[in-house]
Amino acid sequence: MRSRVAGTGSYLPSQVLTNHELARRVDTSDAWIRSRTGIRERRIAAPAESTSDLALHAARAALDAAGVAAQDVDLIIVATTTPDMVFPSTACLLQAKLGARGGPAFDVQAVCSGFVYALTVADRMIAGGLARNALVVGAEIYSRILDWNDRGTCVLFGDGAGAVVLLPSTTPGIVSAHLHADGRYADVLCVPGTLSEGQVAGSPFVRMDGGAVFKFAVTVLAEVAGEALAAARLTAADIHWLVPHQANIRIIEATAKRLGVPMERVVTTVERHANTSAASIPLALDEAARDGRLETGQRVLLLGVGGGFTWGAVLLQW
C-alpha cells in the first residue's frame, strides 16, 4: 500500500505588506528587494491569529477538495517552526479545532524542509498500516520572529499555511522521498533564543548568513533532485513540474538551471508570498493544483532546504 495526494488547500492572512510599505520602516526599497529576492509583497497574520488558525483554514480546504470529513482524519502532521506554544503541539491544537480525535497528531520541525519531511513520514505511516489517511500541513507565522530593523531578514519572510490530504493507493502517488540534514551548519540560519525561567535567553529573531545559505541551498537542492531522478530512473526532462521551496527567486532560478529545467515548468509564488518556510511548498502546490497546471499522470518534484541544515525531495505522480 502506498499513498496519493487526494486534495490540497491553502490560506493566506488578509494583511498584505508590500515592499514600498516596508521601505517606510527599514532602510530598503522595492527595487533593492525585488532585484535580490524577487519578492514584491508578503502576508502578515493578524494579532489574534495563531499558527493553528492558519493551519485550520488550509486543512479545511484540503479536506473539502479530498472529500474527507474532518472527523474521519486518522493522522495529523503539522510542519512548523512557529508553533502556537511550547506544548502541546500545533497538530494537537489543530486536531481539536477540526473536531477530530483519537488518531496521532504531532509536529515536525525541519524549518523550510518541514513539509517534505512531514509528507514523507505520513506516506510511510500509511504504507505501514499505521494510518488510513493523513492530513499534512505546513503553517508559519514568521512575522513574529523577525527583527523588523534588520533589512537582511525582515524583507524575506511572510505568513501562511498549506495542506494536503493523503489517501491510500495501490499505485505510488508518492513515488520516492529523499531526506538529509547536516547540523554542522546550524549557525548559518537559526533563531538561537530559548525560554529559561520565564524569560527569553538569547536572540528570539531570525539570524542568517545570506551568502552561505545561497551557496548551500543551490548545491544540495540540485543534488537531492538528482538523487530522486536517479532512484526513479528519470531525467529532468521527465519532470512536468518542479515545486521548490520559495525562499528566493535567485535560488530557484539557479537550481532550475543546474537541473536543466526551464522556468516555464517551475511553480513560483515567492513574488507574492515571500518565504513562508514550511508553508511555501504546499502553498505553491495548491495554487498549481487549483489553476489547472497539475494534471493527472504528471510527475511533480518537490524540493526543500532549510535551517539545520535540512533538505529533501519528494517525487509525486499526480
Active site residues: 112, 245, 275
Tell me how far apart the alpha carbons of residues 249 and 122 are, in angstroms, rounded to a whole number: 29
Angle at 119 between CA 118 and CA 121, to 5 degrees: 65
Cα gap 169→130, rounded to integer Å: 14
Instruction: Report whether 12 contacts 287 (CB < 8 A).
Output: no
Q: Which amino acid is at 209?
A: D
Give bridge partners of residue 167 from the DSSP assignment: 4
Pairing of strands 310-317, 299-306: antiparallel
Query: Please, are residues 112 and 303 in contact by the beta-carbon 8 Å criterion?
Result: no
Alpha-carbon distances, residue 256 vs 58, 243, 249 (angstroms) = 28, 10, 10
Q: Nearest-CA neighbor of 66 among 180, 158, 147, 169? A: 169
Between β-strands 2-11 and 159-169, what pairing exists: parallel, antiparallel or unpaired?
Answer: antiparallel
Distance CA(287)–CA(33), nearest Å, equals 24
All three cell numbers of 37: 529576492
Q: How far apart are CA 120 and CA 277, in angstroms?
A: 17
Terminal CA-CA length for the chain: 17
Residue 214, preceding peptide bond in cis (omega within 30° of 0):
no
Task: Output DSSP code: residue 266.
Answer: B
For residue 218, the one-letter residue type is: V
